[in-house]
Structure 1
C-alpha cells in the first residue's frame, strides 16, 4: 500500500521535519503544498491554509527547489506531487507548476477547476474548463507530469461523474482524477464503486480524510417537525466521519487501483506527528482486514 501525505495537513513542520516524520510513520510519498505565503502571515501560528511551514512557492528559485528535493532525499521519501491552488484558465501558471514538479521529480500536479456559486451557468463554466484542459493536456504530455482534476465541493467537479465528464475527452496518461471521498461528504456523494468504475483509467490518485454533517448551532434540537433544521458539514477524524473508509478501500481494490493514498486530515484531532502515525496504522490495518 502506497501511503503519502499532502503537506497542507502538516503546517507546523518544516520540509525537513516532515520528511523525518513521514519516514518514522512509514509514509513513503510527499505531496508538496505549493502557494505563496504573504509576509503578514509569517508571524502567525502555523495553520493549514495560512502560515503553513511545509509549503513551496510557485516561483521557487534553485535554493528552495534544492531544499525541498533534499528534504525528500535525506529521509528516503519520494516527491509524488506538487499541489497548488491554480485558477481555471491560468495556462502560464500551470506551466510554471509543471516545470517545478519536474524539478522536484514529482509526477502529478493538481490543476484548476471553475467554482460554482449560481452566478454563472454550468454550461458556460464547463466550456471554460474544457478549453483550459486542452492546454493542460498539451503541457502534461510535454513535461511528463499528470494533471489532476480533484473531486471538490463548490466546483463543477464535486462528484466522480462530473469529474469524469471534464476529463473524458482527454488522454488519461495526461489528465486524471484526484478522487476525494472526504470532499464528497460536503457535496457530490455517489456510490463509491460506481464512481470508480466510471472513472476507469482516469482514477489517478486518492486523498484520505473525513467529514460529517451536524445540525447547525442555531437550529438546536428539532422540536417542531414542520420547521426547517439547518445542517452544516465539518471535518472529522478519518475513522469517525461519514466516509466508511474500509468500504472505500474494498471498492478501490475491486477496481484494481494500485496508486497512492494521500492523507489530508483537517480534523485537528492529533498533533501532526501523531496524526501521521495513526493514519499509517489505520490504513495498513484496514487493508489487512479486507484481504
Structure 2
C-alpha cells in the first residue's frame, strides 16, 4: 500500500517539517499544494486554504524548487504530484505547473474543471472542459505527466460517472481521475465499486478523507410537515459517511495499486497525530481485508 499526503492538510508545517513527520508516520508520497500566497495572507494564522506553509508557488524560482526537492530528498520521500487550483481553459497555467512538476520529479498534476452553479448550462461547460482537456492531453504526453480530473462537488465532475464522461475521449496514459469519496459525500455519491469499474484505466489516484451530514436543528423535536435543512461538513477519516474499509475492499477488487493520499480537514488531530493516525488506520484496514 502506497500512502501519500496532500500538503493542503498540513498548513502549519514547513516542507522540511512535513517531510520529517511523513517519514516518522511511514508515509512515502508527497502531493505538494501549489498556489501563490499573497504577503498579507502570510501574516494570518496557518490554515488549509489560506496561509498554508507547505505550499509551493506555480512560478517558484530555483531556490524555492531546490528547497522542496531537498526537503523530500533529506527524508527519502517521493514527490508524486503537484496539486494546483487551475481554472478550466488555462492552458498556459497548466503548462507552467507541468514544468514545475517535472522539476520536482512528480508524475501527476490536478487540472481545472468548470464549476457548476446553475449560471451556465452543463452542456456548454462540458464543451469548454473537453476543449481544454484536448490541450491538456497534448501537454501531458509531451511532459510525461498524468493530468488528473478530481471528483469534486460543485463542479461538472462530482461523481465517478460524470468524471468518466469527461475523460473518456482521451488517452488514459495522459488523463485520469482522482477518485475522492470524501468529496462525494457532499455531492456525487454512487456505488463505489460500480464507479471504479466504470473508470477502469482512468482510475489514477485516490484521496482519503471523510465527511458527514447534520441537521441545522439537531436535538429539536421533528415537525414532519416542515422541511429540514441539512449541512455537510468534514469528519475524521474513520467517523464520516464514507465506509473506508468497504472502499478499500472495492479498490482491491478492481485491482487498484496506486497511491492513497490523505487530506483530513476535520481538525480533530494536530498534524503529526493526524498523519500517524491515518497511516495506522489504513494499515489496519488493509490487513483486515486481506
Equivalent in the alignment of 1:105? 105
Equivalent residue, structure 2, for 1:265: 264
Distance in 1 (CA, whole Å) between partners of 2:223 and 2:233 is 25
For 1:38 and 1:216, the matched residues in 2 are separated by 35
Partner SS, residue 287 of structure 1: helix
CA offset digits 1:74-113 (Å, max 9, x no partner): 0100000000000000000000000000000000000000
**What SS is found at the alignment partner of 1:13?**
coil
Structure 1 residues 48-84: Cα deviation after superposition (integer angstroms, max 9, x where no partner): 0000000000000100100000110001000000000
Whether 1:58 aligns to 2:58 is yes
Partner of 2:87: 87
Q: Tell me the distance in 1 between the aligned counterparts of 2:219 and 2:39.
A: 41
Task: Could you list the structure 1 runs, at least 4 aligned residues long, displaced by more than 6 angstroms after superposition.
Answer: none
Runs of 5+ in structure 2 lacking a partner?
none
Give the 3-state SS of the residue equivalent to 1:80 in structure 2. strand
Structure 2 distance, partners of 1:222, 1:99, is: 57
RMSD: 0.7
The 10-residue stretch of structure 1 (35-44 or 250-259) with the greater mean CA deviation from structure 2? 35-44
Write the distance in 1 (CA, Å) between the matches of 2:249 and 2:123. Answer: 35
Assess if the C-alpha contact under 8 Å between 1:222 and 1:229 holds in 2.
no
Provide the residue aligned with 1:23 in structure 2. 23
Match runs of 1:240-279 below 5 Å: 240-279=239-278
1:173 correspondence with 2:173: yes
What CA distance in whole angstroms lies between the structure 1 residues aligned with 2:164 and 2:139? 20
- Say if 2:223 is the partner of 1:236: no
TM-superposition CA deviations, 1:3-43 (whole Å, max 9, x none): 00000000000000000000000000000000000111111
Q: 1:222 & 1:153 partners in 2: Cα distance?
A: 31
Q: Does 1:193 align with 2:193?
A: yes
Q: CA deviation at 1:282?
A: 0.1
Q: What does residue 135 of structure 2 align with? A: 135
User: Equivalents in 2 of 1:246, 1:222: separation in Å?
Assistant: 34
Alignment: residue pair count: 290
Matches within 5 A, 1:63-78: 63-78=63-78
Give the Å deviation of 1:223: 2.5
Aligned to 2:9: 9
Secondary structure of 1:21's aligned partner: helix
Q: Under a length normalisation based on structure 1, what TM-score does the superposition of the two structures give?
A: 0.99
Q: Take 1:215 and 1:222, find their aligned partners in 2: how far apart are those partners?
A: 12
- Tell me the SS of whatever aligns to 2:58: coil
Cα distance change of structure 1 residues 158 and 99 upon mapping to structure 2, 3 Å threshold: same
Counterparts of 2:75 and 2:271, CA distance in 1: 17
**2:43 counterpart of 1:36:** no
